[in-house]
């Protein structure tokens, strides 16, 4: 197996049968080997810097009905909210004062947030704080909308692919949502010049070694700048209420493999990983993660942004505590936007 890790590092990819072997037959020593390699790869690209992103959960209204998600349209028990643009700008002001230089606007697919409203929001944030990066995580849109958001100044877009197996995708989503559509959105985002994020839940119902091999081959082909990987965690008011949660151990293994596959990727130690393990963020960083996404959503609505139960969100107000936790494992919370290492903003190439 270590020969496969060598090959992955040397050639930047594996064939399907090789991925399958690596994904199916792993144990703690192999995981620890992958994690040690992943740490050293991360350090060679980004040093020991950890980037913070301020997460603003702008709405939990959603027109979709994904079977795993607590804010699915069919969950009548969810207490719905949406932040007004002025509330969102207030979150940015607070985050900026805390030193954050990336804001992530995440929400369900809420029809109130029309293309025009999102465009205005992005413009307002960029006008108010020109030195921040704006990341959107607002689901699937037509190309024109993604282009309009980009034109307004959006820098990055997170859209987890969830699973790259079409049959597994159909097990997790209603028929209106397809992997073909999700994949097309991701390629469009990359084409429009977004730093683009894909990703998946580890241990989602029906996930197999085969579907994970599909995921790795998809990431290998897409070459996203960001990848979000966290364990699946059941939500009591969804069809998967009784499914077991994904394990921290397997999540760390996959995180490490993705780091070896994509050396320059921005990889978060996710909220879900921090939920299944109290030291999930630290262990994520030690498996190659270099991003942490503390929460900037006001406390009232935040309690209702429940994609899964027992969500353990850490407030951006605890910035010093987060920095302390990183310092304790030898890492430093960095200032600045923390762009993808291979990403050069256009002005950097034209002003010489």
CB of 320 to ligand 5AD, least distance (A): 27
Residue 141 is a binding residue for ligand 5AD (CB under 6 A) = no
Rounded to whole angstroms, the Cα distance separating 130 from 103 reads: 12
Total site size for ligand 5AD, rule CB under 6 A: 12
Distance, in Å, from the CA atom of 73 to the CA atom of 71, rounded to the nearest integer, reads 6
User: How many secondary structure helices (H) and strands (E) does the chain include?
Assistant: 15, 9
| Binder of ligand 5AD out of 232, 253, 281, 331 (CB under 6 A) | 232
Q: Count CB atoms within 10 A of the CB of residue 208.
A: 14
Q: Choose one: 13-21, 178-186, 225-233, 295-303; the region binding ligand 5AD (CB under 6 A).
A: 225-233
DSSP-derived 3-state class of residue 27: coil
- CB burial of residue 69 (10 Å; 0-12, 13-18, 19+): buried
Q: Which of 22, 35, 9 is nearest to 213 (CA)?
A: 22
Can you name the residues that pair with 229 across neighbouring β-strands?
200
Binding mask 262-281 for ligand 5AD (x = CB under 6 A): ----------x---------
Choose, by CB under 6 A, the member of 68, 113, 141, 218 that binds ligand 5AD: 68
CB of 349 to ligand 5AD, least distance (A): 33
CB of 204 to ligand 5AD, least distance (A): 8
Per-residue contact track with ligand 5AD, 144 to 183, x per CB under 6 A? Answer: ----------------x-x---------------------
Scanning 205-213, 229-237, 276-284, 329-337 for contacts with ligand 5AD by CB under 6 A, the matching segment is 229-237
**In DSSP terms, which residues pair with 59 in a beta bridge?**
82, 107
User: Is 235 an interacting residue with respect to ligand 5AD (CB under 6 A)?
Assistant: yes
Q: Which tokens sit at 189?
A: 């985002």
Q: Are 56 and 296 in contact (CB under 8 A)?
A: yes
Interface pattern 17-36 for ligand 5AD (x via CB under 6 A): --------------------
Is 218 in contact with 164 (CB distance < 8 Å)? yes
Burial class (CB in 10 A: 0-12, 13-18, 19+), 29: exposed
Q: Which of residues 280-309 bind ligand 5AD (CB under 6 A)?
A: 307-308
Q: Looking at beta carbons only, is 37 or 173 nearer to ligand 5AD?
A: 173
| Interface with ligand 5AD, residue 201, by CB under 6 A | yes
Lookup result for tokens 């209204």 = 61
Task: Let me know how long the chain is.
Answer: 352
Contacts with ligand 5AD, residue ranges (CB under 6 A)? 68-69, 160, 162, 201, 230, 232-233, 235, 272, 307-308
């Amino acid at each position: 197996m270590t020969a496969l890790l060598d090959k992955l590092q040397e050639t930047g990819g594996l064939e399907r049968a090789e991925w399958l072997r690596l994904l199916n037959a792993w144990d703690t020593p192999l995981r620890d080997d992958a994690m040690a390699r992943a740490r050293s790869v991360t350090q060679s690209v980004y040093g020991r810097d950890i980037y913070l992103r301020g997460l603003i959960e702008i709405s939990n209204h959603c027109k979709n009905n994904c079977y795993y998600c607590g804010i699915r349209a069919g969950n009548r028990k969810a207490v719905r909210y949406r932040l007004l643009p002025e509330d969102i700008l207030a979150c940015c002001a607070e985050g900026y004062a805390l030193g954050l230089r990336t804001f992530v606007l995440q929400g369900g697919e809420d029809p109130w947030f029309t293309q025009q409203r999102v465009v205005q929001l992005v413009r307002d944030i960029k006008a108010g704080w020109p030195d921040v990066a704006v990341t959107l995580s607002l689901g699937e849109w037509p190309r024109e909308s993604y282009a309009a958001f980009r034109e307004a100044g959006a820098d990055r877009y997170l859209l987890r692919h969830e699973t790259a197996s079409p049959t597994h995708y159909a097990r997790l989503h209603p028929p209106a949502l397809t992997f073909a559509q999700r994949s097309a959105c991701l390629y469009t985002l990359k084409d429009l010049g977004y730093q683009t994020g894909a990703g998946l839940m580890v241990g989602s119902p029906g996930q197999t070694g085969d579907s994970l091999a599909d995921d790795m081959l998809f990431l290998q082909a897409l070459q996203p700048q960001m990848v979000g990987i966290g364990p699946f965690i059941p939500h009591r008011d969804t069809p998967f209420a009784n499914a077991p949660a994904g394990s921290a151990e397997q999540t760390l293994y996959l995180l490490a493999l993705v780091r070896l596959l994509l050396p320059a990727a921005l990889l978060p130690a996710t909220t879900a990983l921090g939920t299944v393990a109290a030291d999930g963020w630290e262990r994520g960083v030690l498996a190659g993660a270099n991003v942490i996404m503390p929460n900037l959503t006001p406390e009232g609505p935040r309690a209702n942004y429940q994609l899964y139960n027992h969500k353990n969100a850490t407030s951006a107000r605890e910035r010093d505590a987060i920095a302390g936790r990183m310092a304790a494992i030898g890492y430093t919370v960095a200032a600045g936007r923390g762009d993808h290492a291979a990403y050069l903003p256009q002005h950097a190439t034209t002003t010489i």
